[in-house]
Structure 1
Amino acid sequence: MDFTGFKGLTFFLSYSIFSAVLGMLQFGYNTGVINAPETNIEYFMKYVYKSRYGEDIQDEAVQRLYSLAVSIFAIGGMLGGFIGGMVANRFGRKGGLLLNNILGIGGGCLMGFTKISNCYEMLFFGRFIIGVNCGLNTSLVPMYISEIAPLNLRGGLGTVNQLAVTVGLLLSQVLGIEQILGTNEGWPLLLGLAVCPALLQLVLLPVCPESPRYLLITKQWEEEARKALRRLRASNQVEEDIEEMRAEERAQQAEASISMMELICSPTLRSPLIIGVVMQLSQQLSGINAVFYYSTSLFTSSGLSDESAKFATIGIGAIMVGMTLVSIPLMDRTGRRTLHLYGLGGMFIFSIFITISFLIKEMIDWMSYLSVVSTLSFVVFFAVGPGSIPWMITAELFSQGPRPAAMSIAVLVNWMANFLVGIGFPSMKSALDNYTFLPFSVFLAIFWIFTYKKVPETKNKTFEEILAIFRHGNGRSMLNCVNALEHLPGTEPTVGEEKTQQDSFANPFEQQLFRSTYSYCSRSHHTYPIASAGSEHSSHHRRESCDRPPPPLPPPRFPNNAV
């Protein structure tokens, strides 16, 4: 096997990644753990209600209480995702994760002692607290990993986020079977085991370094950043990383203290923000939660016993783990955009097959097996693309300044969509019956088209190079960059000339785009887009190689108050 793609994966980097993704394992575990003991939890709620009020509670009321226990987790996740950026800036990525474990331990203890206390309100409160914990994890962990990973490994290591989620889901499914903890006596322990990832992270994470980018750019602690890089890279040669961060630091001076509202209103950052949000929606509105909801009944309809169907559902979790492992080396070879397109396309095809199998399963005996195969294939393609890429690419689309705010918005949207699917799916199932998956098919088609048209490839690009892809819609920024690039190759501008060209930008973000594009082309001799600006020139694009300077363009005409 070829391991050249894993150059730079040191022991200490692996240790730091493992310690951090325990937070994503926590997220996966608590997402799936509530499903298996549903009957046991409802029985407990009936018992507590009767002991309090001396009368039986109606089945509909019990179902509402259980639904509250399930959905309040997503409400906590929204809150955690919303404050994730503020926590990352205030306490650091590592510091925020360490503090977050207090919530993990507290929420796990509340859920674990629910039955002993004879108080189902403790379950609600515990699920809410652990939801806040998981919301913070989904914001902090991808941010931390993307900032400590070397450029050539950032995609593969970013996939470890989803791997940890799938392992957590599988673990909750395995422990939740009746032979282990899926009993009236065992379900409190099943829920209380949420303290274990938090405790383990509290033990392992203090040894890990803080994000070097956070240390250098946010805290201005260059020596601490160098020490962190030397440990992560197992080398004293960290100047290339430091220089990249210094370039980002210069950009940070123009975009410091970017709030969510400023991020939303920024013309330069609006496009990557929309992409990040849509990528998160492509994960939650793909129908994967509906597949998990349907899986047991699908396998039962194919002729499996109830017990066998439960084990087959565990098999789905195992497939997700296996396919996520397969996607790790592909992420930095095939690319994020390509894998996401494959994933969405495959899910679209098999969602159609699932609908067909629902419609004619009673007419053709073997059609029920098509639904099983389609379900498994649907999960395979989810693991390849939408399962892991949205978390990773959202962190990649932004530089240090706006990244925390962008992650907060994206994670908030992810949790909101998660909540809406969880609340709305039962009603949608009742209304649409066999056509339940058609809305998801429509969403998948829309997301595929959006990804094909709008999402850039971020493979092997620095954060600054990714930022250079996005520019103002009027083309002014890129035109100034092109004017500067007329000096390449062999006729690089002097420091004074470069500074004059850079200072010609009225907007700080345009200055950053100049630095990013100039550095990218002069260093790597990649191709770059050329666009004319102003009402007198056409807006078409053409591509020229940095190895051959483009023909001179007329200078742009800016209004005096151009921004």
Structure 2
Amino acid sequence: MVTNAYIAYITLQSQRPQLTHSHTATFWHLQYWRLYLLTLVLGIGGSFQYGMQVSVIASPAEHIQSFVNHTWLQRYEGPVSDSTNQLIWSFIVAVLSLGAWAGAIHSGSLPVKYGRKKALLFNNIVGIVAALLMVFSRMARSFEMILLGRFLYGYNVGLGLSVHLMYLGECSPKKLRGFLTLTGSIFIGLGKVTGQIIGIKEIMGTEEMWPYLLAVSGIPALLQLVLLLLFPETPRYLYIDKGDTEGSKKALQWLWQEADVSLELDDMQKERDSTQGEKAKTVLDVLRSRSVRWQLLTLAIPCAGVQFCGINALYFYAFDIFRQSGVPEQQMHYLAIGLGATELVTVMLCAFVIDRAGRKKLMGFGYLLMGLTMCILTITLSIKDLYTWVPYANIGLIFCIICMYGLGPSGVSMALPADLFLQAWRPSAYVISGTINWLSMFLVGMLFGYVVDGLGQFCFLIFVVYCFFCAGFLLYFVPETKGKTMVEIMMDFNKLNYKKTSTETEKAEYHATQF
């Protein structure tokens, strides 16, 4: 009996480390609850605004054009011509991209000079001013206020999106960096769906409510302005840029709920040593320097792919395919909500698998599968009149492509600047990624209608080529970054940046970039 008790005791003791480890593995997620709250605060005033502004403008289009015509009639005692009205409306839609480009450009200087936190606080004031312009535009009988408000919203989106991701990447432990930075894509999807939902006629998509609909983005801006005051500046900015070791340590301990953060501080010290006290690099430095050449390619090609992968063409053709399947016109808006919800769900799923599957596989195979599925969709669109089941198959293919887009390219591209660049290079990397994204969006918006008119359903073949190009580049040339420190990622890319090193000077430069 004693022997049995002793054996039971020994068995319990042998199992105890395993039980403790299991408990710890579950608990470490909970200990970051303050970091999760910060993620929520950053999201509602960051990438959520991007998704909101992309989708919310579609619903009140008819009401805004009517307002422009009414205002023109009062000013000039004559109706505006259809071409002029269409031009004003097109500029109201497109000016968001121009404002976002301006915000993206400043995302390289404001966060460096004033810090990530102050840059976001200033950005929220811009968003609130834009909302006030929208609210009072009808009262002032000025469509110019709508134009200015959309430009300021664009600036808010361009700056907020970059600094939001920068802030998260610099606050996250490496085991959560992929998941947390990818929440930026989740908030974009959430913003799109929210804009689509509140824009329906039963809520705010009416003649009386459209100024308030356009001003809704002021609420997230106000929330972030107030709540962000409760959180610290990013630890990496304090340690590397400001040299505030104690402040960085306190910020880490507060956010992570860990007493011992020495490993993270050592990693930041190595990163600071690797840059040898260098100041923040300019965009020109990033474009010229050989030491970040492959990082720049890895950033630029997928970022452009988000706009050139054909997702906008897909959304455009979706309504035609729904009509061919017999969907009533008044239900189209609800189907658009379904498409947006599908993208949101798949991006959320991507957030949970990114740190297991890795960035390289999710993006590479995502682009590859999108290209293959769009090839099939091009064929089925060409034979849609031959068989009654083909339009329904096309609907299924559309949802498949959206799922692939959310699981790979849409989500993972958001994490790239935080993963690929060291502290001194990161702000300018966000400027470049933002510039590529917004100019690509503007270019697609301006030229897409002409491409569709000229090629019809065969327009997808252009996007297929780019998807295959992205897939090949990512799968065959780019190293994986999951689970690695910033310095380890830099060393992997140095093998590509200095692959053909020949002279002693280049060899010395290569070794200098290691540590």
TM-score by length of 1: 0.84
Q: 1:5 to 1:40 in 2, by over 3 A?
A: farther
Residue in structure 2 matching 1:381, options 399, 404, 413: 404
The answer (yes or no) to whether the contact 2:189–2:344 under 8 Å persists in 1 is: yes
Q: Does residue 431 of structure 1 match 2:454?
A: yes
Q: Percent identity?
A: 31
Runs of 4+ in structure 1 over 3 Å off = 1-9, 472-480, 503-506
Residue in structure 1 matching 2:42, options 20, 24, 28: 20
Q: CA deviation at 1:256?
A: 2.3
Question: Who is 2:95 aligned against?
Answer: 72
Q: CA deviation at 1:5?
A: 8.2
Q: CA deviation at 1:203?
A: 1.6
Aligned-partner Cα distance in 2 for 1:203–1:146: 22
Q: Does residue 179 of structure 1 match 2:199?
A: no
Aligned-partner Cα distance in 2 for 1:6–1:389: 26
The answer (yes or no) to whether the contact 2:351–2:411 under 8 Å persists in 1 is: no
The answer (yes or no) to whether the contact 1:5–1:329 under 8 Å persists in 2 is: no
Q: CA deviation at 1:252?
A: 2.7
Question: Who is 1:128 aligned against?
Answer: 151
**One-letter code aligned to 2:358:** G
Deviation per CA, 1:70-116: give whole Å up to 9, x if none: 00000011111111011110111122111110111111221222222
Give matches, 1:252-331, under 5 Å: 252-253=275-276, 255-331=278-354
Aligned-partner Cα distance in 2 for 1:17–1:452: 30
Q: Does residue 7 of structure 1 match 2:34?
A: no
Aligned-partner Cα distance in 2 for 1:96–1:8: 29
The answer (yes or no) to whether the contact 1:73–1:127 under 8 Å persists in 2 is: yes
Higher RCO (Cα < 8 Å, 6 or more apart): 2
**One-letter code aligned to 2:28:** K
Aligned-partner Cα distance in 1 for 2:64–2:500: 61
Aligned-partner Cα distance in 1 for 2:24–2:357: 16
Residue in structure 2 matching 1:85, options 99, 108, 121: 108
Deviation per CA, 1:235-275: give whole Å up to 9, x if none: 11110111100111112325423211111111111211121
SS of the equivalent of 2:483 reads: coil
Paired residue total: 491
Question: Who is 1:553 aligned against?
Answer: none
Residue in structure 1 matching 2:372, options 345, 349, 354: 349
The answer (yes or no) to whether the contact 2:350–2:411 under 8 Å persists in 1 is: no
Aligned-partner Cα distance in 2 for 1:252–1:460: 22
Instruction: Flag structure 2 segments of 5+ consecutive residues without an equivalent.
Output: 1-21
Q: CA deviation at 1:505?
A: 6.3
Aligned-partner Cα distance in 2 for 1:267–1:227: 36
Aligned-partner Cα distance in 2 for 1:35–1:203: 30
Deviation per CA, 1:284-325: give whole Å up to 9, x if none: 111112222333332122110012222111001111111111
Moved more, 417-426 or 468-477: 468-477
**One-letter code aligned to 2:100:** G
Q: CA deviation at 1:36?
A: 1.5
Residue in structure 1 matching 2:176, options 130, 153, 171: 153
SS of the equivalent of 1:437 reads: helix
Aligned-partner Cα distance in 2 for 1:504–1:318: 50
**One-letter code aligned to 2:405:** F
Aligned-partner Cα distance in 2 for 1:69–1:239: 51
Question: Who is 2:259 aligned against?
Answer: 236
**One-letter code aligned to 1:19:** V
RMSD of aligned alpha carbons: 2.2
Aligned-partner Cα distance in 1 for 2:372–2:60: 33
Q: 1:297 to 1:112 in 2, by over 3 A?
A: farther
Aligned-partner Cα distance in 1 for 2:419–2:178: 9
Moved more, 364-373 or 119-128: 364-373
Q: 1:308 to 1:439 in 2, by over 3 A?
A: same
Deviation per CA, 1:363-394: give whole Å up to 9, x if none: 22221112211111111111001111112012
The answer (yes or no) to whether the contact 2:479–2:493 under 8 Å persists in 1 is: no
SS of the equivalent of 1:64 reads: helix
Aligned-partner Cα distance in 1 for 2:27–2:259: 19
